[in-house]
Every structure is written in C-alpha cells, then in structure tokens.
Structure 1
C-alpha cells in the first residue's frame, strides 16, 4: 500500500465482492453469485486501465475488512481509504471532506459500476477542475451519476441515491451556492440485468475489458446477445435540463 497521495487523485468506490453484498440489484435477477462473479471482473479491468502513470489511483472501500478480497483483484497499488457509516451520500460527503484534509485537490470519485469508462473521461474531469469548474459530474442515463469530482470540498451532497433525481438535486444545490458544475459525457452503469445489453457490445469490441468479456462469456450472456443489441451502445443522447 503506497503513501497517502497529494494533489490530483482518482478514487474508485469498491465493495468487497461478496454474494448478497455487492451488486445486489443485479443479483436479484441473475443470482447473487453470478453478479459478484461479474463484479470481480469489473474491478480487475478498472484497476488495469487506471493503474498507469496517468492517474494517482486510490480505492474507497467497504467494509474495512474487505481490502484483502479487493486487493486480490486490483493489486496493492494505490492509496486505500475505508468508508465509514451512513448511506452512500453520507460517505461521499465524508470522502471529499477528508480528501481536502489530506491535501488532495482536485479529487475525483467514480463508481465501479461502469467498467467501460475510459481514461479520457477522467482526464477531462481533471482538466475541467483545473480550469474553472468547482464540480464535475458524469451523468448516467437513469438520472444519477457515475463520477463526481471537486476542486475543493463543497457541501452539495444531500438526499438518497438511486432515486433518479440525484443529478438534478446536486446541480440545484450547487447553483444556490454559486458553484459551477461541468457535465461530462453521459453513459450507463450496470445496476440491472437490462443494463448488460449496453455493456456487451463494449466488452466484445474493445481490448481493455478482457476480464469482463471472459466473465460475460462464462456466464452465458454472450450466447444470449442479439445482433441488434449493438444498437444500444449509444442510447439516445442524455440532454440535461
């Protein structure tokens, strides 16, 4: 485990890959063991993509005793921060406050639910934070977000997650506080079985998702995929209000 990071840092939220604990909404339909098997692949591919010299990578994990299980997939590189109590909104708020105390600025936090996310998106997040945006957000098609970054800790996080209104609420609070919000490209996250129809074309056409592709194939999802699923890679463009 490396020394604490300073300046620009990227952290990935990670849950211990335990059946019934990680990817529970996906597991409710495809089976919790199968969902965790796929989630383990997500972590492997994200670690390989973001562990290079471009980013100072860290992991924001839960529970605290889950690091051995996570590190077996992602390696020991990167700074590790343990999530505390409260819901995900509370834990994100704590994360940015503590990152500021550590001197990490700007800092970006992303979910592990979008294994296809490219390095160029994170590079753009840091560029915007360096050049004037107080906050950057990567929207998901369902009204949430897959990434949030801040130039400094800002008190704009409130309310429950997974409601479909997280992004609107965050932007409204930022506007009231006089903070600028930069929006990155919209994409999907994998929460439900139906989301796999967007993931599969990425996994089968790109070379940087080897673990995800192997897991999808092993679970039989590639056999089930239809040619027209490729049409869903680019869902109708998300246009913020």
Structure 2
C-alpha cells in the first residue's frame, strides 16, 4: 500500500494500559505487580515526552486493550496525541493494522513501543530522514533480538505474520523475509529494551525515578 492523500508522516506509539498484573509480567517476580506497572507507566510517559517535545506533525497513541483508561486519556490531552484502539490477535496483526492505516494517509509511518529507555529523539529524527530520503523500510534492532522501531513507506504483505514474538530471532526472521521479497532495509543503532529481570541492572536510575524499593542490584 502507498499513501497518496496527505503530506508528511505519522509517528505511532503502541502502549498497554498500566494495569498491575497485566504489564511487564516478566518483571513481576523482581518488582511485584505494582512495581512492574509503575515502571511501565514511567517508561510510557518518558516515551510520550520524547515524541511530543520534537513533534512537528501527527502522532497517534495506539492503546490496549482500548482507549478508555484514564492513563491514555491524560496522555492524549497532555501530548496532543489522537487515541486509537489496537486490533488483532497478536502483536504482528496489531502492528500491521496500524501501519496499513497509516500508509493509506501519510507518506511514511514510524511505529515505536515504550520498552526502550535508550530510545531518544535523535534516533526518531534519523528514521524520519531515512524515510524522507527514499528508504522504504527502517528498523531499530534491539539487543535482545527484537526491534524497538519500525518505519516504512509501504507495508509489505505478511511482514509480521506467523511470527514467534518474544523470540531472540525475530529480527533475523524479518530480515530473511525482506531479503526473499527483494526489499531493502536500513538499520539504525542497536539499543537495549527493558523486558526481562536481567535488563534491570542496565537502568538502575529508573528504580530511583519510579520509587521502586524492592529491587536491589546484585
């Protein structure tokens, strides 16, 4: 699909409502359900701020399970994000739905999550420049084998279908699919997500910022 209706692009942020027991579940043994939810909310708000501080166009917040949570309502009002409900049986379907919606209306779309503390506005600006310069697809690979950003000018059919999400070979599989489709892909810097207990040691300052008391560095 190619856009032909509007100029410029759109940034899409995928986020779950910070409900204890429903987010950052792999961190619950270390942080507890409340602590994991608090960390998730902190990471999300930090991501929202990074986007809004440099936003010169359209930004969309794609919400799960829906847009009704007060957390999303406040984020939309504070940062001038439009709110959208995620649709799909798994992450791949949900991302495909959002990206296909975007490229029908805009020249390019960049989709990010909220799990990467190392993501900064400069990386997003670089992805924009690559797409506006003619790159068809841009990925920000994560050190755990996934990715923290995808940008594209059109959505290749089946790009995210039947994927083992959370597997360390996600990015490798996507690169193989792109190669088979003869589609070029530009890679950004590799960054660290915060998903697993072993990731916590990389970001001790987040524990202080969120006021989480029951986590101690080894």
TM-score normalised by L of structure 1 = 0.79
Q: Give the corresponding residue for 2:3.
A: none
Residue 214 of structure 1 is aligned with which of 202, 209, 213?
209
The 1:132/1:65 distance shift into structure 2, 3 A limit, reads: closer
Q: Give the corresponding residue for 2:16.
A: 15
Contact 1:105 1:151 (8 Å CA) reproduced: yes
- Deviation of the 1:69 alpha carbon: 2.3
Q: How many residue pairs get matched?
A: 209
- Superposed, 1:67-106 pairs within 5 Å as 67-73=69-75, 75=78, 77-101=80-104, 103-106=105-108
The 1:225/1:25 distance shift into structure 2, 3 A limit, reads: closer
- Deviation of the 1:109 alpha carbon: 0.5
The 1:154/1:67 distance shift into structure 2, 3 A limit, reads: farther
- Deviation of the 1:160 alpha carbon: 2.4
The RMSD of aligned alpha carbons is 2.2
Contact 1:8 1:104 (8 Å CA) reproduced: yes
Partner secondary structure for residue 83 of structure 2 = strand
Q: Distance in 2 between matches of 1:195 and 1:141?
A: 11
Residue 197 of structure 1 is aligned with which of 157, 176, 201?
201
- Deviation of the 1:225 alpha carbon: 4.2
Q: Give the corresponding residue for 2:146.
A: 144
- Deviation of the 1:22 alpha carbon: 1.4
TM-score normalised by L of structure 2 = 0.87
Q: Distance in 2 between matches of 1:60 and 1:6?
A: 21
Contact 1:144 1:166 (8 Å CA) reproduced: yes
- Deviation of the 1:129 alpha carbon: 1.3
Matched, 1:173 2:177: yes
